[in-house]
């Protein structure tokens, strides 16, 4: 078994307005990384379109219909000031969810050790009935619920190290005792949630807010606390909401992490997956808006996954 990489050209057909940080260039520049000789052994697969019933694992049918109907023929349709759709956004979002669903099936059925989904739009801000923060559907939350519904898992863990709190993942999984959701994020910062007191209905949500300017030492201390909780939880599968906007070069936030921190965090999750999950780990791209920070961090993340 090896590391699998999902992507699809449809994810570059989700167009955002001029000057928007969540832009097509992010994936285009990551393709340059993936084509480097060091990643030649990665199995590349096209992300499939998800079945529509996978979307309703996390969202009501009325919301799914709303998003499908909102896609414009020309120009942009806005969900909020930051979150928009273009012609092509619907299929891009379905590819993002399709990647996480097929990745989950592959690791649980033994045809992959771990998977990275290089997809967009991101997902961790999408709540049950509201898209926001560049996100349309709760991609990683859907992956966790798919693992429970299709494969019968009882313990799934999610780590979200994006610099912004995964409010959507938290909202979708608030009452789901079979999923442990842990987030490190800058605070104060958009979306304004993620206090330590937000613990879910079953004390299964862990928030570790980090102050402005926080660097490696404080991040790793917070991560070690999460690792201890995950170790006690003994997950059968681990997901990573892999946002790289806590990098020091990112324009949307003020944490001071670098690619070595993301390499370390990925290795720690791999060690947990080895101890409890038969190495089964699925990662999906969230944020990261500095091309330098994104490309160097994804390179480190993939390197750790392949080791």
Structure tokens given for 140: 């990683």
Classify residue 278 as left (phi > 0), alpha (psi -120 to 50) or beta.
left
Structure tokens given for 78: 């806005």
CB 49, CB 8: distance < 8 Å: no
User: Among this protein's residues, is 74 annotated catalytic?
Assistant: no
Residues 6+ apart with CB under 8 A from 221: none
For residue 163, the Cα-to-chain-centroid distance in whole angstroms is 12
Parallel, antiparallel or unpaired: strands 77-78 and 84-85: antiparallel
Q: Three-state SS for 204?
A: coil
How far apart are alpha carbons 291 and 130 in whole angstroms?
28
Among candidate residues 8, 14, 124, 125, the one labeled active-site is: 125
Catalytic positions are 125
């Amino acid at each position: 078994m090896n590391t699998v990489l999902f992507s699809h050209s449809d994810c570059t057909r989700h167009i955002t307005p001029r000057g928007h940080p969540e832009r097509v260039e992010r994936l285009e520049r990551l393709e340059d990384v993936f084509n480097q000789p060091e990643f030649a052994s990665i199995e590349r697969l096209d992300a499939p379109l998800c079945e529509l019933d996978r979307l309703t694992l996390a969202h009501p049918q009325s919301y799914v219909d709303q998003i499908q109907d909102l896609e414009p023929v020309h120009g942009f349709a806005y969900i909020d000031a930051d979150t928009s759709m273009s012609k092509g956004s619907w299929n891009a979002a379905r590819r993002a969810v399709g990647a996480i669903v097929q990745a989950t099936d592959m690791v649980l059925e033994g045809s992959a050790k771990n998977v990275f989904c290089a997809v967009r739009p991101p997902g961790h801000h999408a709540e049950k009935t509201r898209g926001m923060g560049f996100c349309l559907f709760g991609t990683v939350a859907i992956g966790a619920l798919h693992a429970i519904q299709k494969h019968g898992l009882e313990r799934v863990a999610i780590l979200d190290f994006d610099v912004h709190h995964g409010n959507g993942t938290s909202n979708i999984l608030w009452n789901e005792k079979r999923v442990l959701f842990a987030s490190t994020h800058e605070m104060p910062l958009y979306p304004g949630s993620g206090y330590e007191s937000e613990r879910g209905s079953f004390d299964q949500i862990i928030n570790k807010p980090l102050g402005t300017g926080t660097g490696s030492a404080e991040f790793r201390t917070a991560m070690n606390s999460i690792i201890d909780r995950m170790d006690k939880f003994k997950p059968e599968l681990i997901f990573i909401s892999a946002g790289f906007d806590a990098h020091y070069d990112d324009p949307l936030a003020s944490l001071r992490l670098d690619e070595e921190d993301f390499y370390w965090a990925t290795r720690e999750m791999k060690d947990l997956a080895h101890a409890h999950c038969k190495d089964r780990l699925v990662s999906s791209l969230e944020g990261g808006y500095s091309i330098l920070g994104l490309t160097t961090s994804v390179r480190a993340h993939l390197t750790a996954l392949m080791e």
